[in-house]
């Protein structure tokens, strides 16, 4: 079974598609993902994310996102939250409306009608962060080097 996830951000008719990066940036998206972030090269007009549509198997899903998109102050990063009540196990919204993502599905993100990212939906991650897996590298003393974290 294949399902396509489409996230469409409304834009001005005839406007060029902005350059962007989508996170998660890998080839898979876990089934219980809670957010998708889109980083634009240039600031975006206010209200750009007013028309979000999510489709699975060609059908629009009712209320897949939390209703308020989260823009960075510079209008270059947009984070949309997948409805946590439909992503987490045992909650009423998930039982009534169903899960948003299905393991094994092919997910596609379109921005302004243009394909921005494609994923395969991976099994849900129920493990959580494991601090022992994290690596860090301290900057040299008295330097302006960055602290490096690998999570």
> Average pLDDT, whole number, for the chain?
77
Most confident stretch, 9-18, 38-47, 71-80: 71-80
Angle, vertex CA 128, rays to CA 122 and CA 130, nearest 5: 115
Whole-angstrom Cα Rg for the chain: 18
Q: Strand 70-71 relative to strand 77-81: parallel, antiparallel, unpaired? A: antiparallel
Answer yes or no: is pLDDT of 17 > 60.
Answer: no
Count how many residues are written for the chain.
151
* C-alpha span between 38 and 23 (Å, rounded): 6
Say if residues 39 and 76 touch (Cβ distance below 8 Å).
yes
* C-alpha span between 110 and 76 (Å, rounded): 17
Per-residue pLDDT at 145:
93
Share of the chain above pLDDT 70, in %: 70
Residues 38-42 have a mean pLDDT of 90
User: pTM for the whole thing?
Assistant: 0.69
Per-residue pLDDT at 4:
37
Per-residue pLDDT at 6:
41
Closest CA to 11 of 66, 51, 43, 64: 51
Q: How many CA atoms lie within 13 A of 121 on its CB side?
A: 23
DSSP state of 82: B
Q: What confidence tens digit (pLDDT) does each residue in 50-78 have?
A: 455 666 666 666 777 787 788 899 999 98
Residues 16-31 have a mean pLDDT of 84
Q: What confidence tens digit (pLDDT) does each residue in 110-124 have?
A: 777 777 888 899 998
What is the CA 65 to chain-centroid distance, rounded? Answer: 10
């Amino acid at each position: 079974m294949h399902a396509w996830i489409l996230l469409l951000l409304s834009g001005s008719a005839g406007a060029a598609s902005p350059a962007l990066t989508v996170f998660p940036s890998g080839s898979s998206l876990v089934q219980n993902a809670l957010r998708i972030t889109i980083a634009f090269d240039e600031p975006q007009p206010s209200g750009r994310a007013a028309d979000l549509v999510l489709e699975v198997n060609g059908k629009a899903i009712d209320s897949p996102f939390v209703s308020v998109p989260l823009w960075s102050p510079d209008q270059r990063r947009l984070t949309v939250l997948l409805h946590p009540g439909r992503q987490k196990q045992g909650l009423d919204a998930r039982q009534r409306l169903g899960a948003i993502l299905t393991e094994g599905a092919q997910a596609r993100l379109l921005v302004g009608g243009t394909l921005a990212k494609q994923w395969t939906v991976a099994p849900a991650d129920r493990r959580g962060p494991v601090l022992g897996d994290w690596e860090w590298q301290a900057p040299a003393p008295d330097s302006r080097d960055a602290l490096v974290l690998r999570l």
